[in-house]
Amino acid sequence: MLLEVFLLLGTLLIYFFFSKKNEETLPFKDGWWGRGQKPETKEDSSVRPFKVETAEEELSDLFRRLDQARFTEPLENSCFHYGTNSVHLRKVVSYWKNQFNWKKQVEVLNKYPQFKTKIQGIDIHFVHVKPPHLPEGQAAKPLLMVHGWPGSFYEFYKIIPLLTDPASHGLGDEHIFEVICPSIPGYGFSEAPHKQDFNSVSAASVFYELMLRLGFNEFYTQGGDAGCVICTNLAQIAPSHVKGLHLNMVLVSKLGLPHLLSILLGRYFPGLFGFQDEDVRRMFPFLKKWLYKILSEFGYAHIQATKPDTVGCGLNDSPVGLAAYILEKFSSWTDMEFRNLEDGGLERKFSLDDLLTNIMIYWVSGCIVSSMRFYKENLQKGIGTQKHEKLTVQVPTGIAAFPNEILHIPQAWAKKKYTNIVSFHFMPRGGHFAALEEPELLAKDILQFVDKPIPPPLVQV
């Protein structure tokens, strides 16, 4: 009898431990990010139509600044190794002044319905595209897509039609999406927070409130870069509302002894650490493909995580400086080998119109400083110290691992954080800005992800 009692108590303890672990979620962050004190009156929850508009005075000021740009001669044969090469930058600026048609691009931006609504004291801008037609008896799947830095909602303009009207693009009609693409507060046409401490959990809470306001009790999320963290946080806040989480970039901030051992020995014993051959190819030699990349490519992150306003003030005052700062990321983050080219390989994957449209969103909205502050708000407390970094994600997760992403995270590492990975694919080509660079590849991966049967989540001790 005593044995049975101990077994029963043990079972209850195990159940209590695992169920508590399984149900732990990230608290919703109900902040106030508007100016001054939060008013006692109820916040206006109306959703208002929005269109991108630019006054002639703004364009005249832009062209004046472009005409007065002062360029620095690059070092001989330096290509993009020192950053944006000013020889090519001159060509970009010349195109910007003489051929780029911002008014035409504004029409492109306004071809999809855009809106604003006030949440937690600030105006949130978002694109909301419904399917042009639905087969009888079929409902659209709500999909929240979140950009990163130095991108914008415009990154998704090429993938939106593939998701809202997949049949017209040869992708079938089994899954059709209703797509919502918000601008992160402080980016693009979303109002910047007026108070400190607006981090990824804050953004996730705002976007959760946005989706509920639009009437979506259940929805999918997708993101890369900052969007990866925000969507991950949203899945941690509201796991019963997020039906699936799709990422084209994964961040793992909590590394333990198994990770360190896999770094030391994974190249020689990949199977022992759950590595596949492609993981080994993308990760090793580790010093070159991880440590060197961090040292050579993440200086910007240290600046933005410490004193973003200092460099931001200069970028906000100079359109040429802003272009140089952003274009360098679209070069090296698309393919590190592009650093060996004088033109940074920029037009191998993107058109100048697309690149300049993204830059213009930063310029006309004046958001570069507030977008850079997002790094400080997320990193100033240290890496691996915040609650969301310690919690797992149990929402069904799909990961598209693009080969030219800055750092490769193997599934063996990712599953420690994302315990319910139902889809992990090594993509054949593409880099950091996947939705803009390879919209069809990304769309196909999202479509196959939502088609997967969902297994029960794994509970980790």
* Catalytic pick among 225, 279, 335, 445: 225
Beta strand 122-129 with 177-182: parallel, antiparallel or unpaired?
antiparallel
Identify the burial level of 35 via C-beta atoms within 10 angstroms of its C-beta, where 0-12 means exposed, 13-18 middle and 19 or more buried.
exposed
Phi-psi label, residue 184: left if phi above 0, alpha if psi -120 to 50, beta otherwise = beta
Q: Phi then psi for 375, rounded to 5 degrees?
A: -65, -45
Q: pLDDT class for 453, splitting at 50, 70, 90?
A: confident
**Residue 232 CA, distance from chain mean position:** 10
Active-site residue 15, yes or no?
A: no
Q: pLDDT class for 16, splitting at 50, 70, 90?
A: very low
Question: Mean per-residue pLDDT for 38-46?
Answer: 93
State yes or no: pLDDT of 447 exceeds 50. Answer: yes
- In this prediction, what percent of the chain has a pLDDT beyond 90? 87
* Residue 271, pLDDT score: 94
Active-site residue 408, yes or no?
A: no
* Residue 81, pLDDT score: 96
State yes or no: pLDDT of 23 exceeds 80. Answer: no
Question: Mean per-residue pLDDT for 292-310?
Answer: 94
State yes or no: pLDDT of 13 exceeds 70. Answer: no
Active-site residue 432, yes or no?
A: yes
Global pTM? 0.92
Greatest CA separation found in the chain?
A: 90
Nearest of 299, 300, 325 to residue 89 by alpha carbon:
325
Q: Give the integer Cα–Cα distance in Å for 191 and 33.
A: 10
* Catalytic pick among 157, 187, 208, 375: 375
Question: Mean per-residue pLDDT for 107-133?
Answer: 98
* Catalytic pick among 208, 418, 432, 445: 432
- In this prediction, what percent of the chain has a pLDDT beyond 70? 93
Mean predicted lDDT score pLDDT of the chain? 92
State yes or no: pLDDT of 459 exceeds 60. Answer: no
Nearest of 224, 221, 181, 227 to residue 200 by alpha carbon:
227
Q: pLDDT class for 319, splitting at 50, 70, 90?
A: very high
Question: Mean per-residue pLDDT for 219-234?
Answer: 98
Position with higher pLDDT, 15 vs 21: 21
